[in-house]
Structure 1
């Protein structure tokens, strides 16, 4: 009997874990130096990101790759329960001189 219940129990546990994970996307709308320097804007961005387990952040306009490390520092500074945020960044996309 226990061998019959084991697959069901594994299925239920995996469904529960999947339901608990939050995967999000966030279009920050031209996230560049001006928003990075705006404390209120950064506070909102940090709050939104902290709600998610995995997040895709779009429209980061930073040719020198300085914004993401600053954002990670802000996220990790007040992190609860030993959570450490990290990031993966893609190559910049866009036509000609306008790239994000």
Structure 2
């Protein structure tokens, strides 16, 4: 599975047991309590569901996490001393991952 994910272009792949931990649930509660969820009211409304993987998927046994690299091919700091050249922020140079 790892080899297939990498062959498909994912930069990294990881596996974990789908089990909740009190530390993560407490971290989520603190994050929500601090208002860090901004306008995502659904996070607060579904906090019990989101505290553990089984809250969303009761039958879940494993988690497969896939990662994509959005790093540019070039060194973005190479243009730092070239004030005559325009620079575009790194996050805006690649494909929008929301699409």
- Sort the TM-score into its range (normalised by shorter chain): under 0.3
- State the TM-score, normalized to the length of structure 1: 0.20
Comparing both chains, which one has the higher relative contact order based on Cα–Cα distances under 8 Å and sequence gaps of 6 or more? 2
